[in-house]
Homo-oligomer: A and B are copies of this chain.
Amino acid sequence: MHAAERERRIFEALRPTGFVSYRDLEVLLDASPATIRRDLTRLEESGQIVRVHGGAKLPEGDDASGPRLMGTPFDQNITQNLGAKQAIGKAAAALCQPGEGVMIDGGTTTLQMCPHLDGLGLQVLTNSLHIVNALLPQAGTRILLPSGAVFREQNIILAPAGEESMPRFHAPRLFMGAAAIGPQGVMQADPVLVAAERRLIDRAEEVILLVDSSKFSTQSGTIVCGLDEIDTVITDSGIAPDMAAALQDAGVKLVVA
């Protein structure tokens, strides 16, 4: 296989979550370790990726620093606070019990759970096509989808109002993202997301919110639910102490990844 072809595959693997492991590449490229390392080194020197121990990731969301293909707002968000989101995703994945069924809401932070779910044999109900794509290579993970129409802005599946879209599903845990969180509760940028998430919340025993610390300083959006409906918040170390205290006062369990 040739360098150009390998590069194409690397980016293809990199796009969904912003990260590829060295192991994945070994299988995907069918090339010797030395060659893979050389490819990664070259791509890093040209600024197109960032190497990390064990793989490579897309550069953190500084805009206009290279000829990367990212059109949708979603693709732009993937690289925002990528490191924090990866840590949060990993911590969230650690809460899943092998073999159980969980719900994962769409979002760039929840997306980062996916690489860590491999091998757990989970049953994942999600409304996000991005998450479907990320989970597709994991043979042991069962993917369930609700019915509905595809909403392109967020690449999620949206059921018509009042319609039963996921019959007979109930899960111990829902992992949810958000545009912002504050004392008023959890907020989303787009009102149509609110309806979708509310439906998920109603079907979960426990609601776990995944938000990087920048979401605590944003305030715009439509309210999804109050803090009383949230059981756990997973965030990064950038959270302000008073925010942490406020969450715990509201009875929310706080996990800092």
Task: Give me the interface of A with B, judged by CB distance under 8 Å.
Answer: 2-5, 8-9, 11-12, 17-19, 21, 52-55, 57, 60, 63, 67, 69, 129, 132, 136, 139, 142-150, 152, 155, 157, 163-168
| Given A60-B67, A63-B69, A136-B152, A4 and B52 contact (CB-CB distance below 8 Å) | yes
Are A136 and B163 in touch, CB under 8 angstroms? no
Number of chain copies forming the complex: 2
Residues of B within 8 A of A166 (CB): 147
Residues of B within 8 A of A3 (CB): 52-54
Name the contact of A2 in the complex, choosing from B53, B60, B139, B168 (C-beta under 8 A).
Answer: B53
30 contacts between A and B (CB under 8 A): A2-B19, A2-B21, A2-B55, A3-B54, A4-B54, A4-B55, A4-B57, A5-B19, A5-B21, A5-B55, A8-B17, A8-B18, A8-B19, A8-B67, A11-B67, A60-B67, A63-B69, A129-B132, A132-B150, A136-B150, A139-B152, A142-B149, A142-B150, A144-B148, A144-B150, A145-B145, A145-B147, A145-B148, A145-B150, A147-B166
